[in-house]
Amino acid sequence: MLSYEDARLKVIEVTAGLRRIPARENLKLQNSAGRILAQEIVADRDYPSFDRATRDGFAVRATDCREAGAKLRVIGEIRAGGEFAKGVSAGECVQIMTGAAVPQGADAVVMIEHTRTGARENEVTIERAAESGMNIVPRGSESRAGDVLLRAKTRVGYAEIAIAAQAGAAELDVYRKPRVAILSTGDEVVAVEAQPGPFEIRNSNGVSLAAQVELAGAEAVLLGNAPDRADELREMIERGLQEDALVLSGGVSMGKYDLVEEVLRGLGAEFFFDALAIRPGRPAVFGICRGKPVFGLPGNPVSTMVTFELLAVPAVDILSGSEARPVPLLKAKLSRGVEQKAALTHFLPAVLDWASGEATVSELPWQGSGDMAALARGNCFLVLHRSKLKLAAGEWVDVLPRRGLL
Ligand code: AMP
Ligand code: MG
């Protein structure tokens, strides 16, 4: 059976093969976090654009301060943003503030903490030896005018926003978010607002998938729930195929009323896999139908969540105009031993914390893939790879944080 790693590679290859280039939109810089850049950001000038002091203190000539105790004449001061026309000659210095331009002639800044105002007026004693370049960031050392600061297809985070701001980009061209249709299935499923009958359940997958879609950077289009009847299911799937991708929950197992694959096949879908060597999430299906990626995720809520994270997130990344991000696995120490029998990679509800000073993870008791209550007591999945299904307390283990929580 296919490993989740190979299944992801398949999703990535197939989705990238669609060669969809998303439409663009122009956003205010402050609204662009989490979006994918559709343009480059180029440095409009050298950064810094002058030799910048990184400390409050005195701009000196290092040759005057080879040893501690040099006494220098203070010929003026320079504030951040200010200009100092004169140069600094032998035996002279200038009081300088953080962020100000180092004047001609000076080649080091001595921190104010390492100086003492002299007995005489306008005299300062430099109490440490200075080296050329000390506490100065030279002009152009961060970037040069014309350098590409951000490449197209970069994901915009706060540092990217800062560098775009520095370069004067008050607006950014970004790609439009892909629209991901979400369709749950099942005769037993009723709306969240409804009072379920004794053997019915509320539709939690629709809204949890919508949250996952949005955390992955796409727009969720909630289509509601389809009953386990081929005609109605087909109609709602066709509606979903109008969006950039379609995610279904339920109806992909071996039951008599699991119709998703059959209906998709009837609509001309090509499938790339319909089972994975994972638990929960084994019956996950991926295909292309009418040119759109379609994920048939199992209906058990924890299975739906795990398979969305592993399979659908990389497709969302590509449809967003970017590259697929890796699965963000962390390492943590096991607080208690764990063991699983089935030769599958297991994703177990768990709590990750740093209270002991290092990342520690504890498996939570749970009732299997329908037990979203257990998942909600934790913040991550403990990942037990099928190559090593037994680990003792104190061993390092992979952890998959729950997106948006950690
Ligand atoms: P299925 O994959 O259709 O066989 O469903 C597996 C389990 O997940 C069943 O217990 C379903 O009742 C449950 N389930 C299916 N769809 C949903 C949903 N939208 N919300 C919550 N649970 C669901
Ligand atoms: Mg079902």
pLDDT digits (tens, 9 = 90+) for 156-215: 999 999 999 999 999 999 999 999 999 999 999 999 999 999 999 999 999 999 999 999
Task: Give the pLDDT of residue 340.
Answer: 98
d(CA 242, CA 292): 8
Task: Give the pLDDT of residue 97.
Answer: 98
Residue nearest to atom 10 of ligand 1 (CA): 300
Task: Give the pLDDT of residue 118.
Answer: 75
**Rounded mean pLDDT, 361-388:** 98
**Rounded mean pLDDT, 273-294:** 98
Which atom of ligand 1 has the smallest separation from the CA of 228? 3
**Rounded mean pLDDT, 251-264:** 96
| 204, 205, 223, 308, best to mutate for ligand 1 pocket (most atoms within 8 Å of CB) | 205
| 300, 308, 369, 372, best to mutate for ligand 1 pocket (most atoms within 8 Å of CB) | 300
d(CA 176, CA 179): 9
Helices (H), 176-310: 204-215, 230-240, 260-266, 301-307
pLDDT band for 119, please (50, 70, 90 cuts). confident
Tell me: pLDDT of 296 over 80: yes
Q: What is the pTM of this model?
A: 0.95
CA of 347 to the centre of ligand 2 (A): 22
Task: Express each pLDDT in 168-180 by its tens digit.
Answer: 999 999 999 999 9
Task: Give the pLDDT of residue 294.
Answer: 98
Residue nearest to atom 17 of ligand 1 (CA): 299
Q: What is the 3-state secondary structure (H, E, C) of 340-354?
A: CCCCCEEEEEEEEEC
d(CA 179, CA 213): 9
CA of 259 to the centre of ligand 2 (A): 9
Residues forming beta bridges with residue 181, ordered by sequence position:
221, 246
> Three-state SS for 201?
strand
β strands within 187-320, DSSP E = 189-190, 201-202, 219-226, 245-249, 270-273, 278-279, 285-289, 292-297
pLDDT band for 81, please (50, 70, 90 cuts). very high
d(CA 396, CA 35): 34
d(CA 82, CA 72): 22
Residues forming beta bridges with residue 380, ordered by sequence position:
350, 401
d(CA 360, CA 142): 38
Percent of the chain scored above 90 by pLDDT? 99
Task: Give the pLDDT of residue 64.
Answer: 98
d(CA 321, CA 331): 30
CA of 45 to the centre of ligand 1 (A): 57
pLDDT band for 88, please (50, 70, 90 cuts). very high
Those residues with Cβ within 8 angstroms of residue 374's Cβ, 6 or more apart along the chain or in another chain: 302, 349, 364, 365, 366, 367
Which atom of ligand 1 has the smallest separation from the CA of 298? 2
Distances (CA, A) of 264 to 146, 247, 249, 285: 50, 12, 13, 11
**Rounded mean pLDDT, 226-232:** 98
d(CA 68, CA 70): 6
Tell me which ligand sits closest to the C-alpha of residue 228.
2
d(CA 346, CA 282): 10
Q: How many helices (H) and strands (E) does the chain have?
A: 8, 28
As a whole number, the mean pLDDT across the chain is: 98
Q: Report the pocket of ligand 1 as residue ranges, CB < 6 Å.
A: 184, 186, 188-189, 201, 203-206, 249-251, 253, 255, 298-301, 370
| 189, 192, 256, 306, best to mutate for ligand 1 pocket (most atoms within 8 Å of CB) | 189
pLDDT band for 61, please (50, 70, 90 cuts). very high
User: Are 90 and 75 in contact, with CB atoms under 8 Å apart?
Assistant: no
